[in-house]
Structure 1
Amino acid sequence: MKYFLLALFFCFGTATTLRSQSNKLIKELEAQRTTLQKQITETESLLKNTRKDVGSQLNDLASLTGQIEKRKQYIISMNKDVDAINDELYSLGRQLRKLQKDLADKKKKYESSVQYLYKNKSIEEKLMFIFSADDLGKMYRRLRYVREYATYQRLQGEEILKKQEQVTRKRMELSQVKAAKESLLKEREEEKTKLESQEKEKQTLVSRLQNKQKGLQNEIRRKRKEANQLNARIDKLISEEIERARKRAEEEARREEEARRKAESEAGNKKAKSGTPARTARKAKPLERFSMSKADRELSGNFASNRGKLPMPISGSYIIVSHYGEYAVEGLRNVKLDNKGIDIQGRPGAQARAIFNGKVAAVFQLNGLFNILIRHGDYISVYCNLSSASVKQGETVSTKQSIGQVFSDLTDSGRTVLHFQLRREKEKLNPEPWLNP
């Protein structure tokens, strides 16, 4: 009887746990979708009306493409959520069938026990059963049996009620999950409709740009020329920063070597005074060459260990409108762009933020806009297209610290785009795998 009750409580506790797990799953999926939906809603406001000039149209195409990518990611996320809910529905259905089977078994056993008691319901029959025993030991055992059987029957009735409650709760849970699935499917269809609308809008924009091929090529050449100027300046400053870091490292190594020799010399003098024979001086090792100081090496290791966890370098809502590397613009002939970093569009007033602790290596202006380089060991993050800079060369900055305001182009409906690059010394890296969007 004791083990039977323990099993009952275990089943009841397990059912409660499974129910809470199911509700937790739905809440987690809803929270993830709410976050993604909020991002999409915010970024939709970043899309501007198409203007007549080619440059603005090309910018609008980049913004619209970024919005479409984000919506596609959202739909993919919803597809995964649908699969997860289907798995949960299957699991809940299986649990409900098991509970219903257990309930039927318990009802059958209870029915048998009721019938048995009905046949032996009178007190005289029970007393006869007890007193017909051969000795006192058997009489006592029969008395205990009668009492335990009565208790067992009462507990069986209680178990049936509890099991019935579990079945009812499981049915409600199953109904809630089905409702969540129906809501999700409806939302997915709405998002697909919006995506189709944006795809059509993109095709219209591409067609307009195709009709202005000459102006488009001129705009691409202008953008490429500006990008080359910016990258040449960044490359030069990074080379200078690498050389400064190398000199700092060599100076640190030289001081450490001098300190070591001085310590050895003092130890030798003490031995000479005490009459201990001095050892033959060891030949000095050649000075090792380092590209980084000890502090830079530690900072570099910390930076690398945070790959995929670094914050976005812009405050507020954003869209990545241009990705890293060379790629053709979809729908346009002979239009290729080569991005040494990524372009992130935000709201007017957005701030550029340091992605990690570091030291400002350089602040410079080009075409009237500020650009900032921050060193994180042998990694360097680059923030371009700022209307102002709030840090100076040599300053130490912390993660997410504001370093300047991103420029908003009032001639292009306040378009606000941060150009962001990531380097490891002179090597250009794709920033996206390092950031946590």
Structure 2
Amino acid sequence: MLKFLATLVLAVMCAGTVLAQGSDELKKKQAEIQDEIDELRRSLNDTKKNTKAGLGQLNMIKKKLRLREQAITNISDQIDVINGSIGQSRNEITRLRTELDTLKVQYEKSVVYAYKNRSNYDFLNFIFSASNFNDALRRIEYLKSYRRYREQQAVSIRNTQDLLQGKISTLENSRKEKDDVLAKQEKEKKVLDGERREKDDFVKNLKSRERELSKELTVKAKADLKLKSAIRAAIDREIKAARAKAEAEEKAKAKALADAREKARKADAAANKPATSTSPSNPVAAAPAKPVEKPAAAPVRKESVLEATPEGVAISGGFEKNRGKLPWPVEKCNIKIHFGTYGIDGTNLRGNNPGLTLETEVGAVVKAVYEGKVTQIFDLDGNWVVLVQHGKYFTTYSNLSAVSVSKNQEVVAGQMLGRAAANDDGNGEIDFLLLQENRNLDPETWIRRR
């Protein structure tokens, strides 16, 4: 009986632990989402004070909406967990009540039996009616075990009653928690409705500034074209230099091999030259020289001329392995414009961004996302651009007010490259590009998610 009760207690505890873990994880995630919303709201308020309506603010508003929707979904998941806990508690209460009723019936029967056989005469008569001494001892042990059984029944009833009361309390707490979470969800939905109206009003504002925004996009497109051309030229120079170096090394290897073969040929010719002799003996034909076996060439990865060296292959491979794990170039920033084609809500304006445009604080530290070599530093319209090579990959950091590295310097991940300059609105801003040779890639698929 006690063994069954222990098993029941263990099952109840394990099930409750699993549900508690799921609930704790959801609450932790909810807190993280709320922290991100609060940080975004502060950034948005600061931006509104300093600048007019623009893409940066619009993307922050849209991101805040997405986070709010995630928060509501998270609350729905919490409600599902609570409903599961309520259902489980109800099932356990039903099972415990059934078990308690069974224990009470069994205990009642044992009490009735004990009452009917309560006199000392009946007790002694049961013992002395034994057929022999050993049988009498067995009967005494039976009476003792029966008494222990009744005591265990009483303990089981008390423990089951405690479990039942605990489960009833858990059920009441779960119901209260569900009411609180439902109220929170309703509040979040009202906030979401307000934020949607905020977005609609903001889009109307942008619509009224469509001509002005069109000019801004035209300026950005020209700046992007100039940046891409400068980067392409710089990378082309690196590829040309790497190709020339590889060709020179190949020519040097070919010349060394030809010289070695010529030296071997001359040595063979000297060894096979007939010796001068006074005796008229027949010359013995020299054995033909054995051809020199060439060692099998090791497989070489030649996907790119920038990987012609083992170091180039290693750093390219390491960069690829860190896809989705690279750090952000700026610690605190918001994505103003995503990679690729984009449009402005409420307008017919379209653009194409070669990388990520990140809004941050003026003077924010800009860091390398991976180890590599600074191959180019150049001025573009009064601000600095740093180009870092990682094998066949390149990262560029533009719109820097100051630079803290030099050309051909080796850098490590997280090392400061410079500081963010201000954009036309007075906010800090950088453009972060990622390329495989001269092909632009989406940086968001390479940097870690926040």
TM-score, reference length from structure 2: 0.79
**Residue in 2 that maps onto 1:207:** 204
The change in CA–CA distance for 1:419 and 1:149 in structure 2 (over 3 A counts) is: farther
The Cα shift of 1:226 comes to: 1.2
Report SS of the residue matched to 1:25: helix
Point out where structure 2 has 5 or more consecutive residues left out of the alignment: 272-287
* Equivalent-residue separation in structure 1 for 2:257 and 2:35 (angstroms): 60
The Cα shift of 1:331 comes to: 1.3
Report SS of the residue matched to 2:357: strand
**Residue in 2 that maps onto 1:420:** 432
- The one-letter code of the counterpart of 1:338 is N
The change in CA–CA distance for 1:284 and 1:25 in structure 2 (over 3 A counts) is: closer
| 1:258-307 deviation digits (Å, cap 9, x = unpaired) | 99999999xxx9xxx9xxx9741135889967331323323333333333
Q: Which aligned pairs between 1:336-415 and structure 2 lie closer than 5 A?
A: 336-409=350-423, 412=425, 414-415=426-427
The Cα shift of 1:50 comes to: 4.9
The change in CA–CA distance for 1:46 and 1:107 in structure 2 (over 3 A counts) is: same
**Residue in 2 that maps onto 1:432:** 444
1:328–1:336 CA contact under 8 A, matched in 2: yes
**Residue in 1 that maps onto 2:278:** none
**Residue in 2 that maps onto 1:330:** 345
The Cα shift of 1:344 comes to: 3.1
Query: Are positions 1:190 and 2:183 aligned together?
Result: no
**Residue in 1 that maps onto 2:284:** none
The Cα shift of 1:221 comes to: 0.8
- The one-letter code of the counterpart of 1:416 is G
* Equivalent-residue separation in structure 2 for 1:28 and 1:261 (angstroms): 69
Q: Which aligned pairs between 1:16-415 and structure 2 lie closer than 5 A?
A: 16-47=13-44, 48=46, 50=48, 56-244=53-241, 279-282=290-293, 290=302, 291=304, 292=307, 293-316=309-332, 318-332=333-347, 334-409=348-423, 412=425, 414-415=426-427
The change in CA–CA distance for 1:194 and 1:321 in structure 2 (over 3 A counts) is: farther
Report SS of the residue matched to 1:46: helix
The Cα shift of 1:158 comes to: 1.8
The change in CA–CA distance for 1:286 and 1:156 in structure 2 (over 3 A counts) is: closer
RMSD: 3.8
1:345–1:417 CA contact under 8 A, matched in 2: yes
| 1:334-370 deviation digits (Å, cap 9, x = unpaired) | 2012122223333455333333333334333322223
The change in CA–CA distance for 1:71 and 1:296 in structure 2 (over 3 A counts) is: farther
Report SS of the residue matched to 1:407: strand
Report SS of the residue matched to 1:309: coil
1:313–1:354 CA contact under 8 A, matched in 2: yes
Higher Cα Rg, which structure: 2
Larger deviation, residues 136-145 vs 218-227: 136-145
Point out where structure 1 has 5 or more consecutive residues left out of the alignment: none
* Equivalent-residue separation in structure 2 for 1:256 and 1:24 (angstroms): 64
* Equivalent-residue separation in structure 2 for 1:17 and 1:260 (angstroms): 73
* Equivalent-residue separation in structure 2 for 1:347 and 1:102 (angstroms): 66
* Equivalent-residue separation in structure 2 for 1:133 and 1:171 (angstroms): 50
The Cα shift of 1:376 comes to: 3.3
* Equivalent-residue separation in structure 2 for 1:165 and 1:259 (angstroms): 91
Identity of aligned residues (%): 30
* Equivalent-residue separation in structure 2 for 1:143 and 1:377 (angstroms): 89
- The one-letter code of the counterpart of 1:420 is F
The change in CA–CA distance for 1:174 and 1:361 in structure 2 (over 3 A counts) is: farther
The change in CA–CA distance for 1:53 and 1:22 in structure 2 (over 3 A counts) is: closer
| 1:104-147 deviation digits (Å, cap 9, x = unpaired) | 33333233323322322334323322332223333233222222
* Equivalent-residue separation in structure 1 for 2:301 and 2:197 (angstroms): 59
* Equivalent-residue separation in structure 1 for 2:88 and 2:367 (angstroms): 45
The change in CA–CA distance for 1:57 and 1:111 in structure 2 (over 3 A counts) is: same
Report SS of the residue matched to 2:43: coil
- The one-letter code of the counterpart of 2:160 is K
1:296–1:377 CA contact under 8 A, matched in 2: yes
* Equivalent-residue separation in structure 1 for 2:155 and 2:200 (angstroms): 67
* Equivalent-residue separation in structure 1 for 2:206 and 2:110 (angstroms): 85
2:363–2:401 CA contact under 8 A, matched in 1: no
* Equivalent-residue separation in structure 1 for 2:50 and 2:326 (angstroms): 38
Larger deviation, residues 334-343 vs 288-297: 288-297
2:338–2:356 CA contact under 8 A, matched in 1: yes
The Cα shift of 1:40 comes to: 0.9
Report SS of the residue matched to 1:191: helix
The Cα shift of 1:151 comes to: 1.4
* Equivalent-residue separation in structure 1 for 2:22 and 2:93 (angstroms): 18
Q: 8, 12, 32: which one pairs with 1:11?
A: 8
2:343–2:349 CA contact under 8 A, matched in 1: yes
The change in CA–CA distance for 1:37 and 1:52 in structure 2 (over 3 A counts) is: closer
- The one-letter code of the counterpart of 1:331 is G
* Equivalent-residue separation in structure 2 for 1:147 and 1:249 (angstroms): 96
- The one-letter code of the counterpart of 1:324 is F
